[in-house]
Amino acid sequence: MFRFVSYLVILNGVIVNSLKDPVQSLLLELNREREHLEEVARRDTLTNLFNRAHFNEWIQRQTKHAALCKIPLSFIMIDVDDFKKINDSFGHITGDEVLKTVARCIASSIRSSDFAARYGGDEFIVVLHDASEKQAEQIAQRIREKVAVSKELGLNVDISYGVAELEPGADHLKVLQKADEAMYRMKKAKKAPLDIQG
């Protein structure tokens, strides 16, 4: 009953304000709709993380700000292991669920000041604000552990990752490449046969 009365009060306020100044009310509504559409355009529709286009725009501003304030940023590049095999064996719907699970594990492991995006396909990028490479390594390991223990999918999923720290004023593309190379080294190391002595 209380909720119903609350809705009536809110609705009454909207109607009264709309009648007082219909033009302002319309402009306010249009502005809200524009902001909503801009937010939708920045998001990856599957994972609800930011998309690569928004990352490319955001990182330009962020690196300038970090250089100005002398704040380090750390990158984590993440890739789902054997993702093609998952799609081929279990289907694309399961593949989509894997991506959504990884995205949730990322989102629940970072702070509100950090940034996460689906970089493309089964790759993700995380940017940690005011964090060292060592701290990024700890966060990346936490994400990997969360993915490994996730029981939503009914199959074993693992990720590979690479981390790199962006010193204030450094070229973010070179640091991004460094994180990417570290991720592929991890992936390659998992596939390498064990060297058994004796």
Q: Which of these is catalytic: 81, 122, 130, 180?
A: 122
Give residue 34's pLDDT.
59
pLDDT of the residue at 38: 57
Q: 52-190 maps to which CATH number? A: 3.30.70.270
Residue 104 has pLDDT above 70, yes or no: yes
Domain chopping of the chain, boundaries: 2-42, 52-190
Question: What is residue 42's predicted lDDT score, i.e. its pLDDT?
Answer: 82
Evaluate if residue 162 carries a pLDDT over 70: yes
Residue pair 176/73 in contact (Cβ under 8 Å)? The answer is no
> CA–CA distance from 111 to each of 106, 108, 115, 146 (Å)?
10, 8, 8, 16
Give 64-86 pLDDT, tens digit per residue: 988 899 999 999 999 999 999 99
Distance between CA atoms of residues 42 and 55, nearest Å: 9
pLDDT tens digits for 3-58? Answer: 544 544 454 555 555 555 666 666 666 556 555 555 557 899 999 999 999 999 99
Query: Which of 33-42, 79-88, 115-124, 169-178 shows the lowest per-residue confidence on average (mean pLDDT)?
Result: 33-42
Q: How far apart are CA 174 and CA 166, in angstroms?
A: 9
79 classed as catalytic: no
Closest CA to 106 of 88, 98, 130: 98
pLDDT higher than threshold 70 for residue 123: yes
